[in-house]
Chains A and B, each alone.
Chain A
Amino acid sequence: MKVELYNFIRAAQKMNRRQMLKGTAAVGAMAAMPGAAMADGHSNLRAEILKIPGVGAGSPTDADWQKVGAMVLEPTKANVAEGEFAGVELTFMGLNNQNLHNVLFRGFLKPWEAYTGARINWIDLAQADYNARLQQSIATGTVDFDIIEMGAPFEGDVCGRGLASEMPDWVKDQIEMDDYVGYLQEPVGTWEGKTYRVSIDGDCHNFNYRADYYEDGDLAKAWADEGHSGDWAPPETWQQVQEQTKFLSGKTDPLTGLPAHGYLDPLKGWGGFGFYFLGSRATAYAKHPDDPAFLFDPETMKPRVNNAAWVRAIQDVLDVIDAQPADQINADPGTTGFQQFLAGTGSMLSWWGDIGSSAKTSDSSVVGDVTAFSILPGSDDVWNHAKGEWETLSSGPNYAPNMAYIGWGIYVMARVDGDEKKRKAAWSAAAHLGGKDISLWCSAYPSGFQPYRQSHFNIDEWEEAGYDRAFIEDYLASEADSYNHPNAAIEPRIPGIFQYYSVAEDELAKIYAGQYGSAQEGADAIAAEWEKITDQIGRDSQIKLYRASLGL
């Protein structure tokens, strides 16, 4: 310490030399304590992870995934001895969408396999094949996998039948479950009070839009010249989305110079997952703040998909079909997200957080610098199902973010329970993939997963990784505001939910192709099919499970 500094502190703190020495010794001891050192090392670790390969350095490769996997092994080492699982073979079933999910897991788990001695066999599935494969395994009693990547909507099918293994307490500690955002905590991931799920994702649809459209002088002038009300600004309600989409037809995209388009609707099914996109249009109309339900009546399971709110959402799609890109009738959500929006076609899109995490880090994206985010648009009025009338809320537009799919999780199957070594190995692998630090990397880079922990919303970490502060603040705010929204529309975790969605997709395809006289007629057809499915699966049990999932 410099003498003048010593004199200054002594004078300022009114300390004698002895007290000063005590103080410096204490500071030294604190600095030497392992806890403090670890905290420092830990924050360094998170920063280091985020540098692989670096924002703007192109898409990550298998070598990057392995590096990340090796860097986050410490929590595993704390619970598992080296080579402890030698001879254990596990089968892992998951997706291979966009070459992500299982493809990443392989890289992440390679260092884990090398350390523990376990070996993992992989079952890769395309998104559209996932539901069928899982249902068949369940129904025919041929569960041939030990670990599964699965969405919460299937918990009714899997946990409800006792097919999943209950999570041990050490896993809860290793993955720091308290860090999950509120809506992913119980009851999600639990069934009859037992915990089954390691969350690796937190799903909701947010609203992605092209900021450059609203900075374009020509478009602003045309908007005013055509006599539209209000400023040329990002839409806040679906009514504005509709108006802007119609307005943009025939204009020029400021980035690509190709024809401009407004909102992109996926008009082709996607193995049931396409229904979420109509849901994102409908929730602001259908999810009343005083009513937890928006898909079915909780007392009777009578579908609401043909009430005025859903019909209005379907009609909205029909009204702007002509304003969408050519061949949109053949575009599924994969097309709208990755081949259209990220490639520069269209200016507004509801999608999961993948768009935000890919916009700046995927090789195929051209919109990284011009994409902005918000929660899903609201509506000037909302359907009050109990009263059977449209209502304008005194608080302003009604917002109801669509918590579509509630995110992916890792589940261990009950078939490992008979073998303690295998059980521990399976849970250790799941915990490795669901760890706190690895999840930060997954949120920041293309992975198929989006932020789902409180710790993911630390802007400084993202900025240090190379993200533009304004971009990431905007993106994370759209996610956090959706998760924490008091009127969020949370998907029911009932068996067969994808059957409802799949049959709806078929009917929607007919509606969009103009084969029904009206949107109402088409929606009635969906409702009739849903009634059949409910009767087939068992109305009473569906009512019970639906009410449970709504917290009633």
Chain B
Amino acid sequence: MSSEGDLLHTVTTEHISATRIRTGRAMVWGAAGLFVLLATLQGFHEFERISFGFETWRPVLYAYLIWATALCAAQVIMRGEQGKRTLFVLPAVLFVVSLVVFPLLFGLYISFTDWNLASFDGKKFNGLDNLRQMWADDFYWNALKNMVYYVLAISVEYVIAFGLALLLNAQIRARKFFRVVFLLPLMLSPVAVSWMIGKSMLEVRFGPIARLSRELGWDSPSFFGSPEIARFMIMAMDAWTFIPFMMIMLLAGLQALPKEVMEASKVDGANAWQTFREVIFPLMLPVSVTAVVIRIIFKLKLADIIINVTSGGPGGATDSVTSFIFREYRDRSNVGYGTLLAMVYLVLIVIFITVLLKTVSRWMERPQ
């Protein structure tokens, strides 16, 4: 079988006339010209270089949409069926460019401005001032430090999730029932968890857990009073919500384990611990790594429970980067600085996840 040429087997061999090609090009370049012209005009108008322009950027957006449509149509006009194939991907690419790449670039621009929503003057470019401010911002570094604790807590979550997955994989009574029950916390919104547990069950005066603690001899139970306990409680609530997620992934991995290998280990006389250590755990490494990495990505976004229960307190002990940015952005309308913090966090996440994936890549392959 040939491995070169048209592997997708074009069924029509239509002839594309020079006029069609010219028309297509004219459409693309004409629409692009209109888009660039309007964008430039509006840009000059925004920066008060010229007096005429539009009230909003909306006409530029329309010009972009016209250009995008023309680009897609021109593919078919200029390239026939080859162009139709391009259309399977091109709209998605344009969509991603519009909704991911452009906002990212725009965000990058915003992060180097001093945009405060209360300022009558709007946004002004302020160079590296926001970076300098971040460098001296104890709240941000404190939140980053907390993120390290939160991410480290995943190791404990993993152990619990693995244990539960093993239990639910065993031949226990009412196994299906328990599988559903253990999944329930994952179905709850973290906002609901924070209110039901953080603000109600753990409420110091009338919360049932506080009452039970008093019964057990803790005179004045306080679940969010000291930094350590507060941080632990946040970790516990988050873990309660997301352990089922890791558990279900691990359970799926366990069920996919090759039965022959397990039976072979039994035949060889391995006890339960030896089977787990020598067979199950190594075989489960790829699934484990995937579950942990996805969980880390979830954890890096931790904010809702913190915002609802502690607002980052006491004294910033439970603050996460996201909850801090939320306050900076929402309560202080400090858009420029808040965006910079988010951008820096994005870069840190990209670096961290890249290094992490590189490091764990050798465990990702299931041993043959």
- The interface of chain A, by Cβ under 8 A from chain B, is 128-129, 131-132, 135-136, 138-139, 141, 157, 160-161, 267-269, 271-272, 325-330, 332, 339-340, 343, 345, 495-496, 498-499, 502-503, 505-506, 509-510, 512-515, 532-533, 536-538, 541
Interface residues of B in 309-330 (CB under 8 A from A): 309-317, 327, 329-330
Q: B204 in the interface, Cβ–Cβ < 8 Å? A: yes
Q: In the assembled complex, which residues on chain A have CB atoms less than 8 Å from the CB atom of B114?
A: 536
Contact A538/B120 with A268-B313, A326-B220, A514-B315 known, Cβ cut-off 8 Å: yes
Contact B117 A506 (CB under 8 A): no
B265 within 8 A of A: no
Question: Can you list, as one digit per residue, whether each of B318-347 has a CB less than 8 Å from chain A (1) or not (0)?
Answer: 000000000101111111000000000000
Are A537 and B225 touching (Cβ within 8 A)? Answer: no
Contacts of A328 in B (CB 8 A): 225
Is B150 positioned at the interface, with any CB of A under 8 Å from its CB? no
Interface residue? B240 (CB, 8 A)? no
B139 at the interface (CB under 8 A from A): yes
Interface of A is mostly: helix
Closest 10 CB pairs of A and B: A513-B315, A496-B118, A326-B220, A502-B331, A139-B117, A132-B330, A327-B222, A330-B224, A135-B117, A327-B204
Per-residue contact bits, chain B 90-115, to A (CB 8 Å; 1 contact, 0 not): 00000000000000000000000010
CA distance A328 to B204 in the complex (A): 9
Q: For the complex, what is the distance from the CA of A505 to the CA of B328, rounded to whole Å?
A: 12
CB-contact partner of A509 in B116, B205, B314, B331, under 8 A: B314
Residues of B within 8 A of A135 (CB): 117-118, 333
| A541 partner residues in chain B, CB cutoff 8 A | 120
Complex Cα distance, B327 from A369, in Å, reads: 40
Between A and B, 11 residue pairs with Cβ closer than 8 Å are A132-B333, A136-B333, A327-B221, A495-B118, A496-B333, A499-B116, A499-B332, A506-B312, A515-B315, A537-B119, A537-B120
Inter-chain residue pair count (beta carbon < 8 A): 125
**A533 lies within 8 A of B314 (CB):** no
A343-B205 contact, Cβ under 8 Å, with A327-B223, A512-B314, A513-B313: yes
Q: A506 to B205, alpha carbons, bound, how many Å?
A: 25
Contacts of B56 in A (CB 8 A): 141
Q: Does chain A have a CB within 8 A of B48?
A: no
Determine if B121 is an interface residue (Cβ-Cβ < 8 Å).
Answer: yes
- How far does the alpha carbon of A271 sit from the alpha carbon of B333 in the complex, in Å? 12
Given the complex of chains A and B, what is the CA–CA distance between A139 and B335 in angstroms?
10
| Nearest B-chain residue to A529, judged by Cβ | B332
Q: In the complex the two chains form, is A329's CB within 8 Å of B224's CB?
A: yes
Question: Given A136-B117, A538-B120, are A509 and B316 also a contact pair (CB < 8 Å)?
Answer: yes
In the complex, residue of chain B having the shortest beta-carbon distance to the beta carbon of A271: B331
A269 with B311: CB separation less than 8 A: yes
Asked if B80 is at the interface (CB within 8 A of a chain A CB), the reply is: no
Are A506 and B139 neighbours in the complex by a CB distance under 8 Å? yes
From B221, B316, B335, give the contact of A513 (CB < 8 A).
B316
Task: For residue A364, give the distance in angstroms from its CB to the closest CB of chain B.
Answer: 11
- Indicate if B227 sits at the interface (CB-CB under 8 A): yes
Contact across chains for B331 and A499 when beta carbons are under 8 A apart: yes
Which partner residue on chain A sits nearest B310 by CB separation? A330
Taking CB atoms, residues of chain B closer than 8 Å to A506 are 139, 312, 316, 327
B205 to A339, Cβ gap below 8 A?
yes
B314 to chain A, nearest CB (A): 4
> Is A503 within 8 A of B315, CB to CB?
no
Contact B314 A513 (CB under 8 A): yes
Residue from B121, B205, B222 having most chain A Cβ neighbours under 10 A: B205
Contacts of B224 in A (CB 8 A): 327, 329-330
Does the CB pair A499–B315 fall under 8 Å? Answer: no
Inter-chain contact B315/A330, CB cutoff 8 Å: no
Asked if A503 and B332 make an inter-chain contact with CB atoms under 8 angstroms apart, the answer reads yes
Residue of A nearest to B316 (CB): A510
Asked whether, in the complex, the Cβ of B314 is within 8 Å of the Cβ of A329, the reply is yes
Measured CB to CB, the nearest residue on chain A to B308 is A128
Do A330 and B331 touch (CB < 8 A)? no
Closest to A329 in B: B314
Q: Beyond A268-B311, A329-B314, is A499–B120 a contact (Cβ under 8 Å)?
A: no
Given contacts A330-B224, A343-B205, contact A510 B315 (CB under 8 A): yes
A326 pairs with B222, CB closer than 8 A? yes
Is B316 in contact with A533, judged by CB distance below 8 angstroms?
Answer: no
Contact A330 B314 (CB under 8 A): yes
Contacts of A499 in B (CB 8 A): 116, 118, 331-334
Residues of B within 8 A of A161 (CB): 120
Chain B residues whose C-beta falls within 8 Å of the C-beta of A538 in the assembled complex: 119-121
- Once A141-B56, A343-B205, A499-B333 are accepted as A-B contacts, the answer to whether A327 and B312 lie under 8 Å apart by CB is no
Bitwise, B119-145 to A at CB < 8 A (1) or not (0) is 111000000000001000001000000
Contacts of A509 in B (CB 8 A): 311-316
Contacting residue for A160 out of B120, B220, B327, CB 8 A? B120
Residues of chain A within 8 A (CB-CB) of B230 are: 330
B323 to chain A, nearest CB (A): 11
In the complex the two chains form, what is the Cα distance from A514 to B222 in whole Å?
A: 17
A330-B224, A496-B333, A514-B315 known; A502-B327 Cβ under 8 A: yes
Mark contacts of B282-317 with chain A using CB atoms, 8 A cut-off: 1 yes-contact digit, 0 otherwise: 000000000000000000000000000111111111
Looking at the assembled complex, report how far the CB atom of A330 sits from the nearest CB atom of chain B, in whole angstroms: 4
**B contact residues around A339 at 8 Å (CB):** 203, 205
Q: Is the CB of B220 within 8 A of A533?
A: no
Evaluate contact between A138 and B117: CB separation under 8 angstroms: yes
Q: Given known contacts A139-B333, A268-B311, A272-B331, is B225 in contact with A330 (CB within 8 Å)?
A: yes
Verify A513–B227 contact, CB threshold 8 A.
Answer: yes
Residue of B nearest to A339 (CB): B205
Q: Which residue of A lies closest to B220 (CB)?
A: A326
Min CB distance A26 to B, Å, is 63
Q: How far is the CA of A86 from the CA of B309 in the complex (A)?
A: 45
Report B-chain residues with C-beta under 8 Å of the C-beta of A502. 327, 331-332
Smallest CB gap from B123: residue in A = A139
Q: Are B118 and A537 in contact (CB under 8 A)?
A: yes
How distant is B51 from chain A, measured CB to nearest CB, in Å?
Answer: 19
Residues of B within 8 A of A514 (CB): 315
